Structure 1
C-alpha cells in the first residue's frame, strides 16, 4: 500500500466504533498486511504476545487494546515484554478507544493523542508498511491527507461523469480540481472573508444527495470572476450567498464555470476535504503528490511522488543558494552591501525546464525569501514588500495539470512567505486579485526555445493571458527588470533510457503507446543532437536537457544543475555526450556521486541518481559530494571533476581492441545461433548418451552468465569438423544437425544462411574446447561486492559470458578485486541496476602497473585461495556465496587479502575508499594512453606507408 491508501484506511478506522478485539487486526490491515497473515494471528498460531489483549507481528509492532484508563501502564508492559524484544518489534502501541499511545523503539520517539486524532500521526507510523518516514510528512501529514481526499473525490467524479474522463475534457476536470485547491486554501487563510466560507457555503446551499452541488460551485466560481463594482449588473444575477466571495480573477476562475455532476458520496468527499486545515499545506510537497491524482497510470502510486526538500537542496545549495548565504554573511550589518545583495536577488531567474508541479521552483523561491527577510531585518525594513518577483521562477512542463499546480503552488508559497515575513494583514492586502501573467509554459522542453521562455534580459509582456491556468505555447514573456541578472537552470528531467521495453504483461494498446512515446523521444533527441553527432540514439533522454542548457548558456550568464540517472556518467554514453559539452567550454562545477533519489514508496524504492552542476565560468574550486555510505556525505574541494564524476583530468575512456596493460586477451563466449538445437539441459544430455548412444565426447558443459552464477547444469553439442562424419552417423545427433541447418537457412541474413553448411558447430566459435577456461559474468547484481569470475577445467564451452582461454591464474585475481569492480562500474555502466561487463571497455582499458614475477606469484596464490574458500561451501552457488548478507567469512577474508596484495602493488598500501581507487586508476590510465600515443609511429606524409 502507498502512503495515501494507508492514510485513508486508518482515517476510516478512527471513524468506526472502537472494537477492542478487532482493533489490532484492522489496524494491521490498514498498513497493508495480508489477510492470510492476519488469519494466522487471529487463530493464535503466530501471535507470540505475552501482554493481555496483545497482538505481536514479528519485526513490526506489538499492539494491545486495553481497559479504559490503563493505556500508559499497557504501553510500559509492551516495552518491557520479552516477546517484544525476541520478535524484534519496531513499534509498540496501546489504546483503550479513548487515548492512543505509541513508541518507536529504536529512536524512543513517542506519540500520545485522543483516539479519533491518531490518523493525524500516520506519518509517524508509516515505517510499519516499509515506508521510510520523511520528516516533512511526519511533522505535517496534511499534504498526504489532502491528496487522499482529493483522490477519492476525483475518482468518484470521473465515475459519475465519464465524458469528463475523455482526453478532450480531462483538462477541464484538472482545471476544476485546481480551483478547488485554491478555494480550500483561501478559506483557511482569511483570503476569503469568513472562516471556512467555501465549505460551509457548499454544505448549506447544496442538497445532501449532491444533486445541485455543481450549480452551487458554478455560482461561487462565477462570482470570483466578476469585479465587485460590476456585480450589481451581472447577468444572470448572483445569489446573495455567492456574492460574499471576493474577486479573484488571475485566469483561475475565468472562462467556463461548468462543474461536473456530484453524487452524495462526491459531496461528502468534498466536504471532508474542506474540513482539513489547509493553512498548513506545504506547496513544495503537496504539488508533487496531487499531480498523480490526474494521471490514471500514476494514481496507483499516489503519495510516492514527493521529492524531499533535502534532496532538492542538494541541487539548489551549491548551484547558487550557498553563494547568496555567503554574501549575506560577508555583508554583516553593512546596509549598502545588504542592499546590493537584495538588488542582485531581485534579478535572479530560476528556470526549471522539466518542472512538474514546481517543487524546485517553490523551494528556490522560499529559500530566497528567507534570505531576503534576513536582509530586511538587518536593515530595519521587516515589513517591506518583497522585491523577488514570482515571475522570475520559470518552468516548462509537458502535461497541463502539473503546470497548473506549479503556478498554484508558487502563488500559495508567495502568500505564505508574505504572512511569515510581513504579517497577515499586509499579505492579504496585496494578494487579490491574482495576476494574469503566464510564467509556466506547458509544452515539450526539447522542442521549445528556452531563450524565449526565460529571456536573458527584461522584456515587455508579449501576451497577457485570459487564463492563468491554461497556458498556450510561446506566451511566456513577462515584464520584469532583469538586465544583468543571473539565470540558474535546475530540475529533475525524466529518467528514460534509450531502449525501454514494455513489461511482459503489457496489452497491445500499452505496447503501441510505449512505442509511440519512444519514437517521440527519439525525434526530440534528433532535434537536439543531429547536427552534432550521429550516435545520439544510445543516449538517455535526459541528455537532451544537458545539451539544451549548454546552448542556452552561450547566450546569457547562467549555471545549470540537473538530477540525472548515473548512466550518462558511465559506459558508452560518456564518449558520445561529454565531448560535446566540454567542447562548448563547459566544465563540471560540482557534482553529487550516486545516491538513491527516494520517495514514499513501500520499501523506499528509489532510482540511483547523480547531480551534475555545469558552468562555462566555473571557479577553480570544484566541489565533489561523495555519498559513500547510507546517510554519510563527504565534501571535497578538487581541481577538476571529470565526466565520470572523478576528481581527475577530463579523460574519456573509449573501447579498445586489445588490453592497454599488455594483459591476456579476453573474448566473448561462442555464440550458438542454433535455434536451441545445439544446447540442452543436463537431463537431455544424459538421455542422449544413455538412450541414444551419443558418444560422451560430443557433449560438453555449456556455461553462460546465468548458468555460472546460479550453478545450473547445462550441456551443448560440440563437434569438430574432423569428427562430423562420425557424429552424423548417430541418428539423434543428425536430427539435431538438420534442425540447426533448417533454422539457419530460413534466416534473411546471408551470413546466417551460410552457417547452415556447418550445422554441427556454433555460429561463432572462439575456443577449441581443449583449453582451461576462466569465465567472467556478463552482468552481475550491484549488491555484490565483487565481480563473479571462476576457472573451469578443459572441455567447458563458454556461451553468454566473457572468457580467457589458457590464461594465467593471476588474471582472476585482477577481475575479482575491488579495484576492477569500481573501474567496471564507472567505465562500463549498468544494465538496469546490474553491473554490465565489457571486454573492450572494462578489461582492455583497465590500467595495471607493470607486474613483477613475484607480483604474479602473489596474485596467483590469492586467486587459488578464493577458489579454495569457495570449495569449502560446495555445493553453494556463486549467487549464494556472494550475497553480501550471507557471504562466508573465509571467502570474504580471501577477497580482502587479494585486495590488499593488489592495492599494495599500486600504491604500497590499501586505498582509503573507492574515490581514491578511481583517482589512481584514472591517473594511471592517462599516463598509459599518453605513452601509447607517443609510441605509435606517425605515417610520413606524401609517401606510401
Structure 2
C-alpha cells in the first residue's frame, strides 16, 4: 500500500534522526508518497539519478549532493532544525559539477523542504514546503514537479524582462531630471547610485529594507529626500551608520562626492516602484545597454534590443578565453589525477611528494587564471567585460570543485574584477561598465555559495579607463610641443569586443576632418583610408599579437570586413597569426537596428586545435571568411577586363526631375544660345528603376566642362538647380564641389568615353538581392549605385548573367544592409573575373561574331532578355510612345488603369523571387552555352566552378606578370 501524506508526516515530522542516516530513507519515502519512481528504478548505475553523486570513496570526499537527478535537481539534506541557508550555499558551490540543474533543493529531515530555481535566464524563485503541509495537494504538486517536470516550476519572468522594467522606470526619472535642466551625465551618475543601492539592498549588502524605508519616509517628506540620500551615500563612501543601522564600506569610486538631486514626490514614487522589483536578478550583461538607452531620449524605444547579444558575445569569449584555458585545465587535471593515484598507491615520503606535486600543478593553473587579463578596447557599457569575468570565475570554480573530488583542499575564489580591463571614450558608458562588472561579480559570488568581498565591497575599477582607444595626446617631458600619437593598449592575454560600426564613407561626417586626418596619418600604410572604423581595432589587435602583448583576439565587426579595402587587414591576419574561428554572416543589433556582422577570432592555434567557421570544423579560414581551398581573396585583377565596368554618375544634389517636368522643359522655345534643353536633359535610372518599375526620372546634366556662364544660358534647368542645388553645395567640405556647384560631383568622364559610341550598355545594381543584368539605351545616365558595363553585345551580357559569373561575384563581393544583399564592384567582382578565352572584354564583339560559342551565348542571352521583357511589359498591357525629342528611348505606358495595377507587381525582384520554370529553363540554357565556351561540363558543382575560375584567374594573372 502506498505511503499516504499523513503517514509520511507522522513518520518524519520533527524526526531526530541524523542527516546521514535519514537522507536516503526520507527521499525514498517521498518518492513512494508522490507515486514517483525511485532512483534505482530509473537508473541502476546511479550516475544520472542517484544518491551521493560525485562522492569519491577512495579519498573519502563527500558527494556534491545527497540526491541528484540530471536535468532536474540537486538535493542536499541536513538534520532537523539545521541552517538551510548554509545548505543552499553548499549546494550552489557544487552546482557546476552537476551541470547546473534547474532546481536546487535543500531540506532538513523533520521540518522544511525548500526548492530554489536555478535557470540562467529567469528570475529566481523559492518554494517553501513545511513537512507538516505535505497534505496540501498544491505543495505536494511542487515536489512532484521537481521530480518529474521541473519546467512547471520555472518562473515566467525572464531576467531580461526584469531588467527592462527597471530600465523603463528610470527612463521616466531621467527624462524628468533632464527636463529640469540637470546635466545628462550627472543624471546618469546619480541614477547609477540609486540602481546600485537597490541591488545592494536586495542581496543584503545593505541592511534589510534600509533603502526602501528611506524612500517611504521621503514620500511623506519629499523635501528631505536630498538629505536622506546624501546621508546614505556618505555612509557607503567610507562605511558608517545611517541612524542605528551600520552600513558597509562600498565606494569604489561610485560614491565619491555628494551628488544628489532633490526629487519631488512623483519622482520619489518612481524610485519606490523600481525598488519594489527584485534587483538581485538583474542581468549585468544587458543592464548597461538598457540603462544607457533609458537615459538617452533618442533610444527610449530600443529598450531590450541588445538582449540576444549575450549568446553572440559568448561566441567570441569561448574560443578566445574559455576553450584555450579549459584545454589547459584538462591537461593539468590529467597530471593531478595521475599524481594523486600515485599518492594512494605509495606511502610515506613518495606519497607526500606526489601530493605536493599535484598541489603545485593545481596552484600553477589557478595562478594562471588569476594572472589572466582580458581587454575590451571599446567596452561600452561592459557586456563583454562582465561575461569575460564570469567565464574566468566559472573556470576557476570548476577547477577547484573537480580538484576537490580528487582529494585536493579547496580555497576561496581569487579572481575578481581586476582581471578585466576596458577602454571607453564616453565617461557615462565607462561608469556603466564599472557598475555592470561590480553587480556581476557580487551576483556570481552569491549564486555560487560565497559571500561577497568586503572592505570595500566595491574595489576601485581604474582598469576600466575613459579615453580614446586609437589615439592620444602626448606632451614630451622636455617641454617641446605636444603631438597626437597612436594610443597604447594595456597588455592583456586576450582582447575581445564590439568596436564601433561606422562605414569608411561616413568617417568624416561623424568624426570631422581633423580627427579623420589624424587617424589616416597615424595608421598610414596599415589601415586603408577608405576602411570602416572597426578595422582600426582589428589592426591594433594584430599589432598586439605580433608584439607578443596578447595571445588571442576576437572582435565583432561589420560583415563588410570580408571584402574591398577592409579585407586588407584581414589578409595580413590570415597570412600572419591566422584566423582560429569565424562567423562570416550573423544577425546583430546596433542602435536598435538589425544588421549583419562578421566575427573573427585570431591568434596562434594550439596543439592541433580545430579551426571553426560558422560553428563547423574546417581545414582553413581565408581572409574573406570562407574555407574553400580556392582562396578567392588571392584573385588578381586582369588587364583584359580593365576600363570596361564603371561606377555610375554621382550627381551630388537635386539635379533629378520627374519626367513630366522634363518634357515640359523639352517643349520650351530655344534658349538665348539657340539651343534646346535637350542638350542638358537626359533620362536617369537607379537601382529602383531596374529592380522595380521605371519611375520616369530625368536629370539635368551640364557635363564636366561647361562653365557657369554657358550653363546659365539654359534658363529653366539652370534656374532649377540654382534654387535646389547651389544652397546645398555651398556648404560642401570639398572646395571643387562648392565652386563647380552646377556640375555633378563625379560625372565619370571615363565611363562616358566608353559608353558614347554604344547604342546600349549593360547595368547592374551595386547592391541587390538578386545579381541581375539589364540593358539600358543610350543616352540614359546610370546613377552611382549602378555599375555600367561598356559592352553592347549579347555574348558579354550572357556571360555576365551566367551562374559562373554570379558565383564569382558572390564569392568576391561583400554584403550590405538589413537584407544582407550582395555587393558588386568594378574592381573586385568584374575586373578579376576570367571570361572564356577568346571572349574577353578587351576583344571587340565583331572579332568573335563568327565564333559558334559566342553565337550560342548570344542566342540564349537574347532569349532570356526577351522572355523577361515580355513578362515585365506584356504587349496587351502596354503601349510604346516616342519621346518628345528624337534620340531618346521610347516610353512604356500602361494601356489603362487596370493594366497599371497589374504592371505594378511585375518587377524583376518579384520575378526572381518567384523564379518560374520558364525563367529557370532560360537560365539553364544560358549556363549550358557558357559552360561550352569554357570547355567545361555543365553539371559542375558550385565549388568546382569556383575552383576552375580561380585557377583560370591565377593562370592569366601569371601570364600578364610574365609579360610585364
- Asked if these proteins are the same fold (TM beyond 0.5), I'd say yes
Counterpart position of 2:199: 185
Could you list the per-position Cα deviations for residues 266-324 of structure 1 after superposition, in whole angstroms to 9, with x for gaps in the alignment? 10011011110111111112122112234343345333344522111121122232233
1:369 aligns with 2:393: yes
Whether contact under 8 Å (2:320, 2:553) holds in the other structure is: yes
Counterpart position of 2:536: 544
1:360 aligns with 2:345: no
Could you list the per-position Cα deviations for residues 839-867 of structure 1 after superposition, in whole angstroms to 9, with x for gaps in the alignment? 34331211345479565455434423432
Could you list the per-position Cα deviations for residues 753-778 of structure 1 after superposition, in whole angstroms to 9, with x for gaps in the alignment? 9x99xxxx999743576644232134
1:213 aligns with 2:225: yes
Give the stretch that moved more between structures: 383-392 or 284-293.
383-392
Alpha-carbon offset, residue 188 of structure 1: 0.8
The match for 1:926 among 954, 961, 964 is 954
Counterpart position of 2:887: none
Distance 1:342 1:718, change over 3 A: closer
Give the stretch that moved more between structures: 184-193 or 894-903.
894-903
Counterpart position of 1:197: 210
The match for 2:868 among 867, 870, 880 is 870
Counterpart position of 2:255: 253
Alpha-carbon offset, residue 417 of structure 1: 1.8
Write the distance in 1 (CA, Å) between the matches of 2:817 and 2:679.
38
Alpha-carbon offset, residue 215 of structure 1: 1.3
1:124-523 residue pairs with structure 2 within 5 A? 138=158, 140-160=160-180, 162=181, 164-165=182-183, 170-194=184-208, 196-203=209-216, 205-208=217-220, 210-228=222-240, 240-241=243-244, 243-254=245-256, 256-306=257-307, 308-329=309-330, 334-335=335-336, 336=358, 340-380=364-404, 384-421=411-448, 423=449, 426-428=450-452, 430=454, 432-448=456-472, 487-500=493-506, 515=509, 517-519=511-513, 521-523=515-517
Counterpart position of 1:587: 578
Q: TM-score, normalised by structure 1?
A: 0.64
Give the stretch that moved more between structures: 350-359 or 835-844.
835-844
Alpha-carbon offset, residue 612 of structure 1: 1.8
Write the distance in 2 (CA, Å) between the matches of 1:318 and 1:198.
42
Write the distance in 2 (CA, Å) between the matches of 1:613 and 1:849.
38
Whether contact under 8 Å (2:637, 2:957) holds in the other structure is: no
Distance 1:413 1:437, change over 3 A: closer
Write the distance in 1 (CA, Å) between the matches of 2:549 and 2:653.
59
Alpha-carbon offset, residue 448 of structure 1: 5.0
Distance 1:309 1:909, change over 3 A: farther
Counterpart position of 2:897: none
Distance 1:495 1:557, change over 3 A: closer
Write the distance in 2 (CA, Å) between the matches of 1:179 and 1:826.
51
Counterpart position of 2:119: none
Counterpart position of 1:526: 520
Counterpart position of 1:482: none
Write the distance in 2 (CA, Å) between the matches of 1:867 and 1:474.
56
Write the distance in 1 (CA, Å) between the matches of 2:762 and 2:319.
45
Distance 1:763 1:348, change over 3 A: closer
Counterpart position of 1:102: none
The match for 1:615 among 603, 623, 626 is 603
Write the distance in 2 (CA, Å) between the matches of 1:764 and 1:344.
61
Whether contact under 8 Å (1:787, 1:815) holds in the other structure is: no
SS across alignment from 1:845: coil
Whether contact under 8 Å (1:528, 1:544) holds in the other structure is: no
Counterpart position of 1:80: none
Q: Which has the larger radius of gyration?
A: 2
Distance 1:806 1:350, change over 3 A: closer
Whether contact under 8 Å (1:621, 1:637) holds in the other structure is: no
SS across alignment from 2:197: helix
The number of aligned residues is 704
Could you list the per-position Cα deviations for residues 35-70 of structure 1 after superposition, in whole angstroms to 9, with x for gaps in the alignment? xxxxxxxxxxxxxxxxxxxxxxxxxxxxxxxxxxxx
Distance 1:278 1:341, change over 3 A: same
Counterpart position of 1:843: 830
Distance 1:389 1:909, change over 3 A: farther
Write the distance in 2 (CA, Å) between the matches of 1:903 and 1:619.
44
Counterpart position of 2:895: none
Could you list the per-position Cα deviations for residues 101-143 of structure 1 after superposition, in whole angstroms to 9, with x for gaps in the alignment? xxxxxxxxxxxxxxxxxxxxxxxxxxxxxxxxxx998565211
Distance 1:558 1:839, change over 3 A: same
Q: TM-score, normalised by structure 2?
A: 0.63
SS across alignment from 2:581: strand
Write the distance in 1 (CA, Å) between the matches of 2:751 and 2:164.
57
Write the distance in 2 (CA, Å) between the matches of 1:277 and 1:615.
42
Whether contact under 8 Å (2:163, 2:283) holds in the other structure is: yes
Distance 1:697 1:539, change over 3 A: closer
Counterpart position of 1:507: none
Whether contact under 8 Å (2:369, 2:392) holds in the other structure is: yes
Alpha-carbon offset, residue 328 of structure 1: 4.2
Alpha-carbon offset, residue 343 of structure 1: 3.3
Provide the alpha-carbon RMSD of the alignment.
4.9
Alpha-carbon offset, residue 742 of structure 1: 11
Write the distance in 1 (CA, Å) between the matches of 2:329 and 2:718.
81
Counterpart position of 2:95: none
Counterpart position of 1:809: 794
SS across alignment from 2:292: helix
Unpaired runs of 5+ residues, structure 1, are 1-134, 229-237, 451-472, 478-484, 502-513, 627-633, 721-731, 938-945
Counterpart position of 2:26: none
Unpaired runs of 5+ residues, structure 2, are 1-154, 337-357, 475-485, 704-711, 840-850, 874-902
